[in-house]
Structure 1
């Protein structure tokens, strides 16, 4: 039998111990901040019922859902499959010809109408999927969360603040920076319309990214109601998608490009003259709001959006941000059909990178599962992009890459026995420690410590056992000392 070259499916990755240490540094930091703000962790299954996911992401999104093939028992119970098998068996018994050479199916003229109808039914795309797949890998964490809230509504205390850090899967075309399997780090609160939640999301982004080492990043904020108001005052409410898609590209194609695209989408020069002052808003957040109020004075929904943003800004006056710059960006329009209030996007200014976070307010999240009127808001961290940013800026602390703090090197079997009590005391004191199995050459053991970036070693031979003073070595500086087991324990447990 020919050997198979080992590989992973396209769009998936292995993570080495060093990479996992760095990823866990990111996850643990973000989780710690989530918990500090009162968010509780949940997990949902890798698989959801296909009916739970379909129809929630639009036609294009539905195409990217990974379907899970039914088990053998389920497929055998399929009504249409059984019907087709039965009809096929009867057709063969009644004597239509077997496929001729070069043909994979019988000639149409030789197939009964019943058999042909059964074949067409089961092998039509929609029916086939329904018959052979009842489950799917989760596409995101939001829809499973909505399902969770509805299913457990009698157990949940509202407002419900949850966070989730789990992988999701999308049947997308793999390319640089785009994977079929990747992690999402989400925090959502449902059952509360308070704008304090939006203010806390800004604080969460600020604190988590500051703890991760970023020094220069911008949290952009806008409000869906303001975008609706802009469309309303120029009498283009039915064209709000075209409007926001165009202005969202301002950074990429400039004002001239935006104007050209709007004209192509049916906007007039008069419309654009009204839009320009809004699109090109400058000044502080307060100054921008003042100008927006003037521009949106005839739009009730637009003024409501301005008021909501002002409320968020007022909350944040009492909690100064550590590193983040909060910027009102009227061109921000992410997920227009999804969000109903505040919209967030986070970008680092230290590295050329897309957004590293985003989210916003949404109404009726759980309505898709029959629980109406439950408003919510949520944000997400882009863990993979954050990883790339920290790697490029060399911001991962040395501790993130170190799994073992000290390696005990025993010269022989007797030294190995001598080392065991020290090893246990170190571990009891929450010091990560290893004892290299005796018998290997000392150089090999030291190379092991270097390859794992273990910062300290303890060498034990006959002299050390006789004097009870062990050779304690700092692997980075090369300094070696003679210390008692108690002193070593005190040094490492600090």
Structure 2
């Protein structure tokens, strides 16, 4: 028998990890609820045509396709062989696969809105916390199965939604005590750059190349742009664009000089200025910065785009999103504007772990262990344990009568803070011994007072 294993890029999560992940997810959910977002869940798989063509050429390559059921049926073997031949030629074939695991939460959400728009109240604000799958190369902070936490607003063009989403980012990371940079740009700025370089048909080529800037550097980006058909003059203009620096005000002034003569550029600049002028004068102003190198190479973004990175740790983005004013139009329901953001839970976990930011109470499960010291004693302990559980105190009774040492070691391994011991003497006197395992401090407490004890 082969050694058991799991697929590359996936992970098992033990109790300690699950508690830490829940701490992150619950923090995010609570902030979403504060801002009026409602929960939603969609299936793990979608029809293949729902997903394909929505993420750009790079994203489409990472979609996990699912083989149809019944391919081992003799009746379907000829179809399957022909389908495999088509796939080897780079074609999709419905005889082989019609479904895929979802790549993100945004496109399935757009599909949901398109299917249910007649019953929804707009603006519709939803949040979603579910796993997604990408056929990516596994590495630190990048997995093939991972969770996303999304918040989206559809049915509104107001930039106040972008302001609120920026505040949601700031609020969540403040609660988690993670110092972050919240970066914003506008796809209209990038569209104006494409216009300046010969036409909007070059937008995809430009954004895909710029999106790789952090990974391959400016010179490689220029090389890729030349390979994608741009000329030297156009690449020089893009180089000037990527060289823009300074504080937010300085960047706005410099981008006005470069793109302020185009209608699209003016609209993009106005969006950025709106966000900056409507944020509350709090810590978020210090966290948020304009970054014209931010491209987010997904075809559906049309306006403001976001990206969040943690300071003081080597990690990719831990959040991102943007406006997609006609995403539901991809499904035959046009003119429903939307904007959303996403949190990368797995990367956030790695950041909090590396910076040691998980609070101590996150690590604890069971608070109280009742020792098993005999049949009559354990029966009494079980009754008292149920009373504590009714009070919301997490406790358990050791499963069998054993030596003290074995029960103490069990409590130690599970990081249990308190032990309650009821022996024959305590049973006669209606008392128990409570021991604080971290310090060794112990006291004798009447059984009638146990539910009032401060564990």
Match of 1:364 among 318, 321, 326: 326
Q: CA deviation at 1:243?
A: 4.1
> Structure 1 residues 241-250 or 422-431, which shifts more?
241-250
Aligned pair in 2 of structure 1 residues 63, 304: CA closer, same or farther (>3 Å)?
closer
**Matches of 1:394 and 1:243, distance apart in 2:** 39
Contact 2:208 2:297 survives alignment (8 Å): no
Q: Secondary structure at the match of 1:464?
A: helix
- What residue number does 1:124 align with? 85
Question: 1:435 and 1:386, CA in 2 relative to 1: closer, same or farther beyond 3 A?
Answer: same
1:9 to 7, 10, 18: 7
1:201 alignment counterpart: 165
- Partner in structure 2 of residue 290 of structure 1: 253
Distance (Å, rounded) in 1 between the aligned partners of 2:444 and 2:284: 44
Residue 203 (structure 1) shift: 0.9
TM superposition shift of 1:157: 0.9
User: Is structure 2 residue 279 aligned with structure 1 residue 316?
Assistant: yes
1:222-371 counterparts in 2 under 5 A?
A: 222-233=185-196, 235=198, 237-245=200-208, 247-248=210-211, 266-268=230-232, 272=236, 278-317=241-280, 320-321=282-283, 325-335=287-297, 337-371=299-333
Distance 1:290 1:243 in 2: 22
Unaligned runs of 5+ in 2: none
Corresponding position of 1:102: none
1:161 is aligned to 2:161: no
Q: Which residue of 1 aligns with 2:155?
A: 191
In structure 1, how many angstroms separate the alpha carbons of the residues matched to 2:241 and 2:61? 37
Number of aligned positions between the proteins: 451
C-alpha change, 1:56 and 1:261, in structure 2 (3 Å) is closer
Query: Is 1:409 aligned to residue 407 of structure 2?
Result: no
On the 8 A contact 1:168/1:183 being kept in 2, the answer is: yes
Q: Is the 8 A contact 1:472 1:488 kept in 2?
A: no
Are 1:42 and 1:162, in contact at CA under 8 Å, matched by a contact in 2?
A: yes
Structure 2: distance between partners of 1:346 and 1:425 = 46
Q: Distance in 2 between matches of 1:57 and 1:281?
A: 28
CA distance, structure 2, for counterparts of residue 388 and residue 481 of structure 1: 40
Deviation at 1:317, TM superposition (A): 2.9
Return the alpha-carbon distance in structure 2 between the equivalents of residues 65 and 295 of structure 1: 37
How far off is 1:75 after superposition? 7.6
Q: Does 1:376 align with 2:374?
A: no
Q: Contact conserved, 2:318 with 2:344, CA < 8 A, in 1?
A: yes
- Whole-Å separation in 2 of the counterparts to 1:7 and 1:270: 50
- Separation in 2, partners of 1:383, 1:267: 41
Deviation string 1:324-358 (CA, Å, 9 cap, x unpaired) is 61001111111252311001111111211111111
TM superposition shift of 1:372: 0.6
Could you tell me how far apart the structure 1 residues matched to 2:448 and 2:247 are?
59
1:130 aligned counterpart, secondary structure: coil
CA distance in 2, matches of 1:171, 1:259: 27
Q: In 2, Cα distance between the equivalents of 1:266 and 1:56?
A: 24
- Relative to structure 1, the CA distance from residue 353 to residue 271 in structure 2 (aligned partners, 3 Å threshold; closer, same or farther) is closer
For the structure 1 residues 63 and 238, does the alpha-carbon distance in structure 2 shift closer, same or farther, using more than 3 Å as the test? closer
Distance 1:32 1:203 in 2: 14
- Alpha-carbon distance in structure 2 between the residues aligned to 1:336 and 1:415: 64
Distance in 2 (alpha carbons) for counterparts of 1:211 and 1:247: 32
1:283 CA drift (Å): 3.6
CA distance in 2, matches of 1:382, 1:148: 22
SS in 1 for 2:453: helix
Q: 1:330 aligns to what SS in structure 2? A: coil
Following TM superposition, by how much is the alpha carbon of 1:234 offset from its aligned partner in structure 2, in angstroms? 5.3
Q: How does 1:42-81 map to 2 (within 5 A)?
A: 42-72=40-70, 81=76
Change (3 A) 1:419 1:333: same
Distance between the aligned counterparts of 1:333 and 1:237, measured in 2?
15
- Shift in alpha-carbon separation, 1:422–1:120, aligned structure 2, 3 A: closer
TM-score in terms of structure 2 length = 0.89
Q: Cα RMSD over matched residues?
A: 2.9
1:489 has 2:451 as partner: yes
Mean CA deviation greater in 130-139 or 163-172: 130-139
Shift of 1:281: 3.2
List per-residue Cα deviations over 1:260-319 (Å, max 9, x = no partner): 7667764445873x666643334432332233234333111111111111111122135x
Q: TM-score, normalised by structure 1?
A: 0.83
Change (3 A) 1:154 1:248: closer
Measure how far apart 1:232 and its partner are: 3.0
Tell me if structure 1 keeps the 8 A contact 2:55–2:298: no
After TM superposition, the structure 1 = structure 2 runs for residues 177-188 of structure 1, keeping only pairs within 5 Å, are 177-188=141-152
SS where residue 340 of structure 2 aligns?
Answer: strand
8 Å CA contact 2:222–2:235 kept in 1: the answer is: no
1: CA distance between counterparts of 2:80 and 2:350?
50
Structure (1 or 2) with the larger CA radius of gyration: 1
1:388 alignment counterpart: 350
Q: After superposition, give the CA deviation of every residue in 1:145-164 in whole Å (9 maximum; x if it has no partner).
A: 11111112222111111111
Find the counterpart in structure 1 of residue 411 from structure 2.
449
SS at match of 1:189: strand
Q: Distance in 2 between matches of 1:35 and 1:77?
A: 52
